[in-house]
């Protein structure tokens, strides 16, 4: 099975998305299909042995749609390492989006139509209002043109507007007649064509109209103004929707276009597509890194803020991993390419963001179900309202008047009904929310994960590396034989010298502290390493032991139990230094808290989210850290495989749980949690492994992710509310149901303006998310 996200051309409304999805799902070889109107794309899972994208595109082409898939074959490039890169992937490497180019071309066509129809629509609209005003106020002068001449001018203008600017609406009507498939274009097509044909009949066959007793009213102005306003609305909607996809465009623009590769000892500038795994690449100050790799020579400072959202430059040296798309601040270096093309971290991020933006949130299901039946239901309501006016209205008023009002209501219902607002409500907010997250280094796997994260009320985190720095350091020295700074430094000098030959993680903290104080390394003889317990060596002929209290005790040196217990209760690990059989000092090693952790825990509590610590550390250490941070629930001495069980316990108590882990040894717990959050700190991270991935993440970024999820879902609900209200109020008003009671009637011109405004307002509301501070 192959799963791809493919842009779709020709979609104009949410009903179109429902039609395409229904058609493709029925196709042979298709396992699943989700069509998203907001991103104008389809996620299709299909068996490539039974079908392909070309065949699937032909299934929907008769309906007026087309899959915009990158062509294969001659457009592919096989790299020396076997990596296959398509033309569309090349476009991505060059910072281009073929889909966007097509949309810009379509936008250009709409702009030309708007430039012609809008001034005309506004002029006709103004004349229509003038005509209405003269009826209410006889003092005002009549229209300066004779009505017969004015009607013929409108006939010519409306013909141009309908058959040129309104082509898509007529195509929608033809598709409906041929295949029984209706969309928003069908509604506009039926409404405007009905108004136009009736008006043509009135103008060209006045005797027949009089013989039949039909009203003299013409609706050319309705055709011109409705199409003008709807074309304008569509243009504004398309322009706004292009802005919702800016996140992907910014990510694509991070990619360097060329690379400076060492070939036969010379620096050669080659297109990014020609870089292969194993190439040695030269990076100069201010240059973008073209691909992922490992530094071989030189050192520098890297700005990776555009990829990870972290604004502090990162110092790198030989052996460190670097990421394509980041910027070299100063210094030059050479690195070996380890990942190219679609395997780079940037390419993974782009893929993940595209997939998430094209996915559907559960909250969208109701809107989708309504959109699927919306157009047929509206057609029934429109014809029913016309029939009601003719059959019932004619009993209370002249037939010509009831027919005139019936036609007005018929066209108004067709024009005001808008499945677009419903269809855009969820996806536009999701697209903007996911894009904003990506710019902050918050990668969201799909819309469902975003919706779940919004409901989270409990976050389970590990202590080391998440709440703490994850790097042990010497917090203090407790001298035993004598007091004073000089004696403390002497203990550190002895410990630092001995630990130079040790590989224990705590040894690094002791060596680092000694180096920071500028203490000279003393010569060591007879060194012995007792793995995992301690070390032994001679300094100037004196024997020294350093290690755990148990190890030093086994050598005959006693340590004050009270001091050891006090350090343990403070969350510190004691390392004892003994000279011969006598303890001379204790080093207190701790993993210090991250600067902002306490404030973030407080902010999470304000949001109603409880932080639970699950750690493999000793109970005393865990409790001490929890007290400092205000964390009430602690699971200590928990193995990675047991964390999933603890999460299950919390879920059984009714909590919605997010688990923040490293995405590797915490995999069972991430899978068990309602939302799995990978706190990625390295470059070699499988970002598909969790629901949410925080690049170079800490708890502060998780707080931002929860706020983003809540803001996004709130925007979706606002959009859905106004879309539903708009249709629930607008359609009954358009039918003329309130006319007998209050005299309320909706002119099709105002209905068209309202319909255009509804879609634009939904997209504009979603775009507000970009400015929201999280």
For tokens 């003299």, the residue is 216
Burial 224-236 (b: 16+ CB within 10 A, else e): bbbbbbbbbbbbb
**Cα 422 from Cα 755, distance rounded (Å):** 12
Q: Which DSSP letter does residue 475 get?
A: E
State how far Cα 508 lies from the chain centre: 40
- Tokens representing 580? 């011969």
Strand order in the sheet with 41-46: 30-36, 41-46, 2-9, 66-67
3-state SS class at 276: coil
How do strand 300-303 and strand 292-298 relate by DSSP bridges? unpaired
**Cα 514 from Cα 587, distance rounded (Å):** 12
**Cα 673 from Cα 648, distance rounded (Å):** 8
Distances (CA, A) of 268 to 216, 279, 336, 439: 79, 11, 15, 32
For tokens 């999460």, the residue is 647
Q: Which DSSP letter does residue 274 get?
A: G
Catalytic residue among 292, 462, 617, 691: 462
Distances (CA, A) of 205 to 161, 403, 404, 583: 22, 18, 17, 116
Number of helices followed by number of strands (H, E) in the chain: 27, 28
For tokens 């779940």, the residue is 452
State how far Cα 304 lies from the chain centre: 19
Burial of 218 (0-12, 13-18, 19+ CB in 10 A): buried
C-alpha torsion angle, residues 167, 173, 174, 180 (rounded to 10): 150
**Cα 347 from Cα 79, distance rounded (Å):** 16
∠ at Cα 667 (351, 643), nearest 5°? 145
For tokens 């430094």, the residue is 489
How do strand 657-661 and strand 675-680 relate by DSSP bridges? parallel
Contact (CB, 8 A) for 626 and 634: yes
Alpha helix positions (H), 398-504:
399-416, 419-439, 447-455, 485-499
Burial 254-274 (b: 16+ CB within 10 A, else e): bbbeebbbeeeeeeeebebbb
**Cα 269 from Cα 601, distance rounded (Å):** 49
Indicate the helix (H) or strand (E) that contains 583: strand 582-590
How do strand 280-283 and strand 333-339 relate by DSSP bridges? antiparallel
For tokens 């405007």, the residue is 192
Distances (CA, A) of 52 to 25, 59, 73, 593: 14, 11, 13, 54
Contact (CB, 8 A) for 488 and 585: yes
Length of the chain: 774
Distances (CA, A) of 255 to 99, 244, 270, 290, 347: 18, 20, 14, 6, 9
Q: Is 462 a catalytic residue?
A: yes
**Cα 210 from Cα 4, distance rounded (Å):** 61
Query: Which of 286, 318, 316 has its CA nearest to residue 300?
Result: 316
Query: Which of 371, 21, 382, 406 has its CA nearest to residue 187?
Result: 382
**Cα 278 from Cα 102, distance rounded (Å):** 36
Residues tagged active-site = 462
């Amino acid at each position: 099975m192959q799963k791809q996200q493919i842009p779709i051309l020709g979609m104009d409304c949410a009903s179109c998305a429902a039609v395409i999805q229904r058609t493709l799902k029925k196709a042979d070889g298709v396992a699943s299909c989700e069509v998203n109107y907001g991103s104008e794309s389809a996620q299709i899972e299909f068996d490539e042995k039974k079908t392909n994208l070309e065949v699937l595109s032909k299934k929907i082409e008769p309906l007026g749609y087309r899959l915009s898939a990158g062509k294969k074959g001659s457009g592919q490039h096989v790299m020396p390492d076997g990596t296959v890169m398509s033309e569309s992937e090349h476009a991505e490497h060059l910072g281009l989006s073929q889909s966007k180019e097509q949309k810009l071309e379509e936008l250009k066509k709409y702009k030309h139509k708007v430039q012609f129809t809008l001034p005309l629509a506004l002029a006709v609209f103004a004349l229509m209002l003038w005509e209405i005003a003269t009826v209410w106020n006889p003092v005002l002068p009549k229209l300066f043109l004779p009505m017969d001449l004015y009607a013929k001018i409108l006939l010519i203008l409306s013909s141009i507007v309908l058959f040129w600017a309104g082509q898509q609406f007529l195509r929608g009507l033809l598709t409906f007649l041929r295949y029984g498939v209706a969309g928003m274009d069908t509604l506009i097509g039926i409404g405007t064509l009905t108004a136009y044909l009736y008006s043509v009949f009135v103008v060209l066959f006045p005797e027949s109209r009089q013989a039949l007793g039909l009203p003299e009213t013409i609706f050319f102005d309705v055709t011109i103004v409705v199409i003008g306003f709807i074309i304008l609305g569509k243009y504004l909607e398309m322009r706004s929707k292009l802005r919702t996809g800016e996140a992907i465009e910014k990510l694509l623009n991070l990619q360097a276009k060329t690379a400076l590769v060492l070939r036969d000892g010379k620096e050669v500038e080659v297109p990014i597509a020609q870089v292969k795994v194993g190439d040695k690449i030269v990076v100069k100050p201010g240059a973008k890194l073209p691909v992922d790799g490992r530094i071989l020579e030189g050192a520098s400072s890297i700005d990776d803020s555009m990829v990870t959202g972290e604004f502090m430059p990162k110092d790198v040296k030989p052996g460190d991993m670097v990421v394509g798309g980041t910027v070299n601040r100063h210094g030059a270096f050479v690195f070996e390419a380890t990942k190219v093309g679609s395997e780079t971290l940037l390419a993974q991020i782009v893929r993940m963001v595209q997939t998430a933006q094209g996915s559907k949130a559960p909250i969208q299901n109701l809107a989708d179900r309504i959109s699927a039946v919306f157009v047929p239901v509206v057609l029934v309501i429109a014809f029913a309202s016309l029939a009601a006016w003719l059959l019932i209205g004619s009993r209370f008023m002249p037939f010509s008047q009831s027919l005139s009002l019936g036609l007005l209501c018929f066209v108004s219902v067709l024009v005001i009904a808008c499945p677009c607002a419903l269809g855009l409500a969820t996806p536009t907010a999701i697209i903007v929310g996911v894009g904003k997250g990506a710019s902050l280094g918050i990668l969201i796997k799909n819309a469902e994960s975003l919706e779940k994260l919004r409901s989270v009320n409990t976050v389970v985190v590990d202590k080391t590396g998440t709440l703490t720095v994850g790097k042990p350091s010497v917090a203090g020295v407790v001298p035993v034989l004598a007091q004073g700074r000089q004696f403390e430094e002497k203990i550190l000098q002895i410990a630092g010298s001995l630990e130079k030959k040790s590989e224990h993680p705590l040894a690094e903290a002791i060596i680092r502290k000694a180096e920071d104080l500028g203490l000279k390394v003393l010569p060591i003889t007879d060194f012995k390493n007792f793995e995992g317990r301690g070390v032994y060596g001679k300094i100037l002929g004196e024997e020294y032991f350093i290690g755990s209290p148990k190890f030093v005790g086994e050598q005959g040196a006693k340590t004050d139990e009270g001091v050891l217990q006090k350090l343990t209760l403070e969350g510190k690990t004691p390392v004892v230094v003994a000279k011969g059989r006598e303890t001379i000092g204790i080093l207190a090693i701790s993993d210090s808290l991250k600067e902002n952790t306490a404030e973030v825990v407080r902010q999470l509590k304000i949001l109603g989210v409880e932080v639970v610590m699950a750690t493999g550390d000793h109970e005393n250490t865990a409790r001490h850290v929890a007290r400092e941070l205000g964390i009430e629930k602690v699971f200590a001495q928990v193995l990675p495989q047991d964390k999933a069980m603890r999460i299950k316990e919390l879920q059984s108590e009714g909590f919605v749980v997010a688990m923040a882990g490293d995405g590797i040894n915490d995999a069972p717990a991430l899978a068990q949690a309602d939302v799995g959050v990978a706190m990625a700190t390295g470059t070699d991270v499988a970002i598909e492994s969790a629901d949410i991935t925080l690049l170079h993440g800490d708890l502060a970024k998780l707080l931002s992710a929860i706020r983003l999820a809540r803001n996004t879902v709130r925007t979706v609900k606002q959009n859905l509310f106004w879309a539903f209200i708009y249709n629930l109020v607008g359609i009954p008003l358009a039918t003329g149901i309130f006319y007998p009671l209050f005299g309320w009637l909706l002119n099709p011109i105002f209905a068209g303006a309202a319909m255009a405004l509804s879609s634009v307002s939904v997209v504009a509301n979603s775009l507000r998310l970009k400015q929201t501070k999280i």
